[in-house]
């Protein structure tokens, strides 16, 4: 969004974060009753006043907005109904899996998409390029749900090459290389699914900006200087295509998170997405609330950081605002 | 829209393919209901029976006809996405146009507000609202629209600001045309391609949003949808029912997303020939 001055964007992120926290604080207040009545009203158990009060103190937010905000930032997110453990423990346990899965898928998709985009833009109009663009178009049209399910059916159900669920083999005490191999085997299918989901956007973005860059005059100069084509492509042209890739990452990040939720659920991968799915299935309201708040704040934080990185990468942004 | 652009669009293979996929879905919907499928909520059939003349895709674990479920799911997904997509587009166009025409403080406030909305991941807010209040599908669609209008509004605003300065608008103003008249007669029609491109990408976003939400089980369980069918069938994937229960909703979903992707790609290519690819890929 080049039209908006940077300070407003940063302000918008901060306000959005505040709105999310306030929404997360006040939504449960609008429930008929509260967490405790919602959980126990349909059950056979009749609570005494003391019990109700204790449960209330254990689960619900009998607190002001200010102390709620303090709790959000000190990881005091209350207790899960179903698992009966602190929510922060559950999320922090699941987080590394998600970070590894999303991070590796993102890095792979960016690198491959970037190189493919540069090469295809260079070969614009040839058969290879048409095939590549066609393939990426088809890939963009297949949802993660479809890719994931088909990979699951083919590679884990019929061929049996990869495990269908989990992040590691339970009760198998692998060490060293065997452990890494086991983790890798479990990671392969979800990683492939996410990689295929993230790839087309990176590819089209790079190709789009490269096509515009390749028509510019400084490349003509580079060619006239007699530089080898690979140097022209990467050292001169492609570095300019890096910038849009970085800026669009922020716009896509929320969608990447959504994709990760779906993929983790399909492959029962023990990350935050699968935790969210289980929380929704079990109607564990405090856990849902905490995961939603945590991941939206994470999305905001990443976008805010990007805003600064972007200014660092592109001096024009710094000087304009 | 000029007939020239229309011709270009209808001769674009991507557009033809996307429209054909939509036509197949429409044919399935109309043909299916014309042939008189079973009631998707009827639970009186033998659970997990294989496909037969009676039940084309067999019966699921709850004794419901899968083909009827599938048709009902496609219909619900489309209704949700059309509602969310059209409302979001309408809000975007109206607000974008208003900002461009009125300017000043209104413009500033609305644009800052839209920056905030753009920053909030809409899926997360929808999950929160759906999990806490069990709201109905149309309400969720409207909330989605209320979250996603800023992308359209920004584009419409930017384009409208350019058009506003052009000579024929100046001429119309000098002849004493009112603001409403100029917007209605000149500005709105001239931005038509923007609406088409915006609508196609909004539709795609709404379809994947609906499937994700229903896959997570956030809609009313009685409301049939593709995501929910996939979710239920996923629990039985090791049985030999994957090709008649699991695959059909996955294929239909893929066809829907593919159709909207192809159409929005093709529109961006025709209306913005500079690039020949899509920049908005994966963004909302």
Reduce the DSSP state of residue A32 to 3 states and report it.
Answer: coil
Mean pLDDT of chain A: 80
Reduce the DSSP state of residue A84 to 3 states and report it.
Answer: coil
Burial bucket for residue B60 (CB in 10 Å: 0-12, 13-18, 19+): buried
- Reply yes or no on whether the pLDDT at A149 is more than 60: yes
Q: Identify whether the C-beta of residue B281 lies closer than 8 Å to the C-beta of residue A200.
A: yes
Chain A residues touching B279 at Cβ < 8 A: 204-205, 208, 244, 248
In whole angstroms, give the CA distance from residue A104 to residue A263.
Answer: 14
Say yes or no for a CB contact (<8 Å) between B131 and A283.
yes
In whole angstroms, give the CA distance from residue B219 to residue B76.
Answer: 11
In whole angstroms, give the CA distance from residue B191 to residue B1.
Answer: 9
In chain A, % of residues over pLDDT 70:
87
- Reply yes or no on whether the pLDDT at A73 is more than 80: no
Chain A residues touching B128 at Cβ < 8 A: 23-24, 27, 288-289, 292
In whole angstroms, give the CA distance from residue A68 to residue A28.
Answer: 13
In whole angstroms, give the CA distance from residue B210 to residue B83.
Answer: 11
Span B194-203, pLDDT tens digits: 888 888 888 9
Chain A residues touching B218 at Cβ < 8 A: 280
In chain B, % of residues over pLDDT 70:
90
Q: Identify whether the C-beta of residue B14 lies closer than 8 Å to the C-beta of residue B269.
A: yes
- Reply yes or no on whether the pLDDT at A1 is more than 50: no
Mutate which: A2, A208, A272, vs B, most B CBs within 10 A: A208
Q: Nearest CA to A259 among B209, B255, B146, B119?
A: B209
Q: Where are the alpha helices (DSSP H) in chain A?
A: 6-30, 35-40, 49-59, 65-73, 87-122, 127-141, 144-151, 177-214, 217-224, 229-231, 239-266, 272-281, 285-313, 315-320
Q: Identify whether the C-beta of residue B143 lies closer than 8 Å to the C-beta of residue B129.
A: yes
More confident residue, B99 or A157: B99
Which among B121, B254, B275 is the nearest to A296, CB-wise? B121
Residue A307: phi and psi, rounded to 5, are -60, -40
pLDDT band at A2 (very low <50, low <70, confident <90, very high): very low
- Spatial neighbors of A101 by CB under 8 A, at least 6 apart, are A187, A190, A191, A194, A260, A263, A264, A269, A271
Q: Nearest CA to A168 among A85, A37, A248, A271?
A: A271
Chain B residues touching A153 at Cβ < 8 A: 237, 242, 246
Q: Identify whether the C-beta of residue A273 lies closer than 8 Å to the C-beta of residue A261.
A: yes
Q: Where are the alpha helices (DSSP H) in chain B?
A: 3-10, 13-34, 66-102, 104-119, 122-133, 137-164, 167-174, 179-182, 188-190, 192-215, 226-234, 247-271
Interface membership of B123 toward A (CB under 8 Å):
yes
More confident residue, A56 or B195: B195
The Cα diameter of chain A in Å comes to 87
Span B202-244, pLDDT tens digits: 898 899 889 888 988 888 877 888 888 888 887 777 777 777 7
- Reply yes or no on whether the pLDDT at B284 is more than 50: no
Q: Convert B168-187 to b/e letters by CB count within 10 Å (16 or more is b).
A: ebeeeeeeebeeeebbeebb
Span B31-50, pLDDT tens digits: 777 776 777 777 777 676 77
Closest CA of chain A from B176, distance in Å: 31
Span B69-105, pLDDT tens digits: 888 888 889 999 999 999 999 999 999 999 988 888 8
In chain A, % of residues over pLDDT 90:
1
Chain B residues touching A152 at Cβ < 8 A: 237
Reduce the DSSP state of residue A79 to 3 states and report it.
Answer: strand
Which residue on chain B is closest to A244 by alpha carbon? B279
Which among A1, A133, A295 is the nearest to B124, CB-wise? A295
Residue B144 is predicted with a pLDDT of 92
In whole angstroms, give the CA distance from residue A257 to residue B45.
Answer: 39
Q: Average pLDDT in the A42-52 region?
A: 71
Neighbours of B13 (CB within 10 A): 10
Residue A162: phi and psi, rounded to 5, are -125, 150
- Reply yes or no on whether the pLDDT at A310 is more than 80: no
Count of alpha carbons within 13 angstroms of residue B275, beta-carbon side: 20
- Reply yes or no on whether the pLDDT at A123 is more than 80: yes
pLDDT band at A36 (very low <50, low <70, confident <90, very high): low
Closest CA of chain B from A262, distance in Å: 7
Q: Please, which residues bridge with residue B65 across strands? A: B59
Residue A81: phi and psi, rounded to 5, are -60, -50
- Reply yes or no on whether the pLDDT at A96 is more than 70: yes
Q: Identify whether the C-beta of residue A13 lies closer than 8 Å to the C-beta of residue A303.
A: yes
Which residue on chain A is closest to B133 by alpha carbon? A31
Q: Average pLDDT in the A291-311 region?
A: 84
Residue A79: phi and psi, rounded to 5, are -115, 145
Alpha carbon of A56 to those of A63, B140, B154, B180: distances in Å? Answer: 11, 30, 45, 56
Span A225-243, pLDDT tens digits: 888 888 888 887 788 888 7
Say yes or no for a CB contact (<8 Å) between B120 and A261.
no
pLDDT band at B143 (very low <50, low <70, confident <90, very high): very high
């Amino acid at each position: 969004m080049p039209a908006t001055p940077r300070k407003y964007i940063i302000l918008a992120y901060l306000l959005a974060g505040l709105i999310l926290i306030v929404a997360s604080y006040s939504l449960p207040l609008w429930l008929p009753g509260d967490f405790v009545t919602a959980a126990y009203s349909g059950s056979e158990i009749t609570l005494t006043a003391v019990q109700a009060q204790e449960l209330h103190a254990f689960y619900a937010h009998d607190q002001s907005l200010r102390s709620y905000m303090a709790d959000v930032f000190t990881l005091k997110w209350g207790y899960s109904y179903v698992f009966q453990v602190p929510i922060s423990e559950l999320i922090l346990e699941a987080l590394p899996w998600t970070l590894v899965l999303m991070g590796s898928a993102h890095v792979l998709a960016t690198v491959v998409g970037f190189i493919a985009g540069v090469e295809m833009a260079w070969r614009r109009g040839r058969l290879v390029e048409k095939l590549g663009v066609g393939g990426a178009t088809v890939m963009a049209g297949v949802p993660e749900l479809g890719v994931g399910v088909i990979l699951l059916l083919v590679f884990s159900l019929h061929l049996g090459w990869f495990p269908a669920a989990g992040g590691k083999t339970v009760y198998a005490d692998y060490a060293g290389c065997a452990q890494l191999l086991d983790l890798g085997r479990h990671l392969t299918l979800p990683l492939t699914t996410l990689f295929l989901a993230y790839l087309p956007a990176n590819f089209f973005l790079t190709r789009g900006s490269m096509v515009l860059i390749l028509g510019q005059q400084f490349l003509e100069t580079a060619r006239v200087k007699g530089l080898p084509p690979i140097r022209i492509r990467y050292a001169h042209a492609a570095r300019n295509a890096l910038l849009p890739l970085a800026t669009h990452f922020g716009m896509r990040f929320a969608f990447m998170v959504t994709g990760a939720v779906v993929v983790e659920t399909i492959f029962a991968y023990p990350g935050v997405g699968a935790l969210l799915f289980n929380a929704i299935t079990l109607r564990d309201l405090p856990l849902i609330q905490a995961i939603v708040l945590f991941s939206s704040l994470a999305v905001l934080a990443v976008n805010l950081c990007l805003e600064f990185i972007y200014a660092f990468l592109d001096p024009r942004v710094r000087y304009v605002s | 829209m000029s007939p020239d652009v229309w011709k270009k669009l209808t001769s674009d293979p991507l557009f033809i393919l996307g429209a054909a996929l939509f036509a197949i879905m429409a044919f399935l919907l109309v043909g299916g209901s014309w042939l008189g499928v079973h009631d998707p909520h009827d639970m009186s059939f033998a659970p997990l029976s294989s496909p037969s003349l009676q039940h084309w895709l067999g019966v699921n674990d709850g004794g419901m006809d899968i083909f009827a479920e599938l048709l009902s799911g496609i219909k619900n997904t489309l209704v949700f996405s059309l509602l969310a997509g059209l409302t979001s587009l309408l809000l975007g166009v109206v607000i974008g146009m208003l900002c461009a025409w009125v300017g000043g403080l209104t413009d500033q406030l609305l644009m800052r507000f839209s920056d905030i909305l753009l920053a909030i991941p809409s899926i997360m807010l929808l999950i929160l609202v759906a999990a806490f209040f069990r709201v109905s599908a149309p309400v969720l669609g409207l909330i989605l629209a209320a979250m996603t209008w800023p992308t359209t509004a920004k584009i419409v605003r930017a384009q409208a600001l350019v058009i506003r300065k052009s000579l024929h608008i100046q001429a119309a103003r000098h002849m004493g045309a009112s603001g409403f008249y100029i917007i209605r007669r000149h500005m709105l029609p001239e931005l038509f391609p923007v609406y088409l491109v915006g609508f196609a990408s909004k539709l795609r976003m709404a379809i994947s949003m609906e499937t994700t939400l229903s896959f997570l089980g956030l809609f009313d369980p009685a409301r049939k949808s593709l995501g929910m069918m996939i979710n239920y069938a996923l629990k039985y994937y090791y049985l030999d029912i994957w090709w008649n229960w699991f695959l059909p909703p996955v294929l239909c979903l893929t066809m829907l997303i593919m159709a909207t992707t192809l159409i929005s790609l093709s529109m961006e290519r025709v209306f913005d020939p500079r690039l020949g690819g899509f920049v908005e890929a994966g963004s909302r």
